[in-house]
Amino acid sequence: MHKPSPRLAIFLAILGCAQPEVAPTPPTPQPPTGPTAAEADAFVQQANADLRRLWVEAGKADWAYETDITDAHEKEASTKREATMAWLTEAIPKAATFRGVEGLSAASARQLHLLRINATLPAPSDPARRKELAEISTRLSGMYGKGAYCTGEGASQICRDLGQLEDVLAQDRDPAHQLEAWTGWHTIAPPMRSDYQRFVELGNAGAREIGFADMGELWRSGYDMTPAEFETEVDRLYSQVSPLYEGLHCYTRKRLNTRYGDQIAPKTGPIPAHLTGNMWAQSWENLFPLLEPFPGEPDLDPTAALQKQKWDPIQMARTAERFFTSMGLDALPETFWQRSMFTKPPGKEAVCHASAWDVEMNDDLRIKMCIKPNYDDLVTLHHELGHNYYYHAYYTLPALYQNGANDGFHEAIGDSIALSMTPGYLKQLGLVSEVSDSEKSVLNFQMQMALGKVAFLPFGRMIDQWRWDVFSGKVPSDQYNAGWWALRLKFQGVAPPTPRDEAFFDPGGKYHIPGNTPYMRYFLADILQFQFYRAMCDASGHQGPLHTCSTYGSKEAGDKLQKMLAMGSSQPWPDALEAMTGSRQMDASAILAYFEPLQGWLKEQNADQQCGW
Active site residues: 353-354, 383-384, 387, 411, 512, 522
Residue 89 CB coordination number (10 Å): 20
Alpha-carbon separation of residue 479 from 137, 199, 469 (angstroms): 21, 16, 11
> Using only C-alpha atoms, what is the Rg of the chain?
28
Residues in the chain: 613
Nearest in space to 255 (alpha carbons), one of 451, 437, 449, 445: 451
Distance, in Å, from the CA atom of 172 to the CA atom of 585, rounded to the nearest integer, reads 43
Distance, in Å, from the CA atom of 169 to the CA atom of 279, rounded to the nearest integer, reads 7
Distance, in Å, from the CA atom of 86 to the CA atom of 68, rounded to the nearest integer, reads 26
Q: Mapped to the 3 state alphabet, what secondary structure does 162-208 carry?
A: HHHHHHHHHHCCCHHHHHHHHHHHHHHCHHHHHHHHHHHHHHHHHHH
Nearest in space to 381 (alpha carbons), one of 409, 329, 343: 343
Nearest in space to 294 (alpha carbons), one of 431, 443, 422: 443
Beta bridge partners of 160: 149
Residue 5 CB coordination number (10 Å): 11
DSSP assignment, residue 312? -
Cα 193 to its chain centre, rounded Å, is 23
Nearest in space to 54 (alpha carbons), one of 91, 90, 92, 80: 80
Can you tell me whether residue 307 is helix, strand or coil?
helix
Alpha-carbon separation of residue 313 from 17, 291, 348, 373, 552 (angstroms): 96, 29, 19, 7, 21
What backbone torsions phi and psi does residue 494 show, to the nearest 5 degrees? Answer: -120, 140
